[in-house]
Each structure stands twice: as structure tokens, then as C-alpha cells.
Amino acid sequence: MDQNSELFDLIILGAGPAGLSAGIYASRGKLKTLVLNEGAIGGQVTLTNEIANYPGVEITKGYSLVNIMKRQAKSFGCKIKSNIKVTGLELEGATKTIRVNGSDLYRAKSVILSPGGKPRMLNIPGENEYKGGGVSYCATCDGDFFTGKHVIVVGGGNSALEEAVTLTKFASKVTIVHQFDHFQAFKHAIEEINRNEKIEVILESELREITGEDNVRSVKLEHLPSGNISTIDVDGVFIFVGYIPNTELFKNIIDINKYGEMIVTPDMETNINGVFAAGDSIQKRYRQVTTAVADGTIAALAASEYIRNSS
């Protein structure tokens, strides 16, 4: 059958932990399932150097966990297409249509949206200019480029603190800069940085500018209570100040809150019948691999019930 006329039971947009979990449950439940992914399989979790709190799995790399999920989904018959570009959506009605790469059409009875997110930028002078030249959003990807050097980590959540510890494996010194007078991370993450002799902490401060020549050489730092500006010599800046949901494609289609997160019911259904959403792009408080997996599981089960009741 020509792919332009092929009808799937379920199409999943996004192949992070949420999308892959949905693919596992749906395909094992005998739904004809297709996962479409715009980038590399796995999403943000592939950038995580170490996962130690995934139940039933000993310490592992993010990409290793994702590869297992991918193999599981495929073993149950789930089709996965990556490195594509979604160029059109028609989600109303009994049959949903997704246009890919401008010409290919895929149709389904139900859709799960799990596009994940991307790192939030500081939007300060020098940030764009020195991307790839000392400014990074991934310690796992770029840490070894800073062996024996001084780097700054911006942020105060779990990701920032965990990545700071990862960077101490390479850098001679890691300075954490956070805008508040306390961290928002879990207690164990805070305790870990406090024990690490390579880590220095600067609170109540924000980066105002990143400067250099061919690469980053220094940053300008404002101490918020006093307004004093200081310059610190550094070789790299790692930014972990949250994420932006990849929901631009769904604006004016799916109900989205002021933070760009899709609004869903407890069954992960959006405002459109038969269209569900899961993972880091939905409105929720906690964002972990385990919560993404749970979202994908619920969305797949709810989509299965929707398809069954619509037949």
C-alpha cells in the first residue's frame, strides 16, 4: 500500500521516553503504530550522562536506556521514522492527517503528541556568538573539551547541580552561579556539590555578558542585592536554566498555557478528541524520565480505549 494512503491506528509525534513508552504499550496492544521524530531518537535524556534513579535499572547512560526502549518498541512491531520534518497537521475529525517533509502524508485514528523541549537561553550578549566556542547546554556532550579548565554553570535546579558534578570529572574548577539565595534542587544533589572540592558557589547573582576572542574568555556577573558588576575569567559557560516546550507547531490547534505547555486531562487527552499529549511538553509540576514514561503509558492506554470505542 502506498504510504500516502496508509492508515495507522496511532501516530506518535516524538521519540523521547514518553513517545517510546507510548509506542511500546500501543504496539504490544496490537495497535498499528508509527512514531515520527524530528531529530535523533531519545530527546533530552540522551544528553544525560548518568541515570541512577530509574526503578529496576542500575546506573546507566541516558542513551543506553533510550536504546533499550527503542528496541522494545520495534520488537512489538512499532514503526519508527526519525530525522523528519512535520510540515502540516489536521487533527480534527475521525481521521488525523500528518504531513511530513512537505509531501508525505500519514493518517491515523488517534495521535499522541510528545515533542519534548529544548534548553532555555539566557539571551544575554555573547551567548549566541560563543555557542560552540565555550557556551554549551550539555555537559555530557562537551565536558571533555574543558579538561583542566575553569567553567561556569548557570542554574540552581537538579540538572544544573548534577551537570556541575559531571563537569568536575574534566574541569579544574566549576563555579555555579544562581540568581536566588538557595537552590531548587533535591537535597542529595545539594549535598553532593557541597562535598566536591572543585565546586564553588556564587548565589544571588546573574550573568550579564559573555566575552572573549575566538572562544569564551570571561563573563560579567551582577550581584543582585548590591548591583555590583564583576568580571570572572573562565573558559566555558554551561547553561541549565530550564527548557522551552517544543509546542510551536501546535499553537492555535491545541490548548496551551502561558508557558507553552499543552493542557491535558488526567487521561492525557487534549482539547481535541482522540489527540493526546505526554512528556515534558505538557502542563505538570515534575519532569523526570519516570514521569515521562508514565505519561506515555497513560496516553497509549487512553488512545487504545478511544480507538476501540470509536470503531
Catalytic residue check, 78: no
Q: Which long-range contacts (CB under 8 A, 24 or more apart) does 26-30 make?
A: 26/78, 26/300, 26/303, 26/304, 27/73, 27/76, 27/77, 27/78, 28/76, 29/300, 29/304
* Active-site entry in 9, 78, 104, 142: 142
Catalytic residue check, 141: yes
Angle at 289 between CA 140 and CA 28, to 5 degrees: 120
Tell me which residue has cell 512537505: 102
* Active-site entry in 138, 235, 280, 295: 138
Q: Pick the closest to residue 34 from 22, 47, 52 (CA basis).
A: 22
| Coil, strand or helix at 168 | coil
Q: How far is it, in rounded angstroms, from Cα 290 to Cα 280?
A: 11
Catalytic residue check, 138: yes
Tell me which residue has cell 488526567: 266
Q: How far is it, in rounded angstroms, from Cα 203 to Cα 166?
A: 20
CB 151 within 8 A of CB 272: no
Segments of 123-227 assigned E as strands: 135-136, 150-154, 173-177, 199-202, 205-212, 216-223
* Active-site entry in 2, 9, 104, 141: 141
Q: Pick the closest to residue 158 from 195, 189, 117 (CA basis).
A: 189
Q: Give catalytic residues, as residue numbers.
A: 138, 141-142
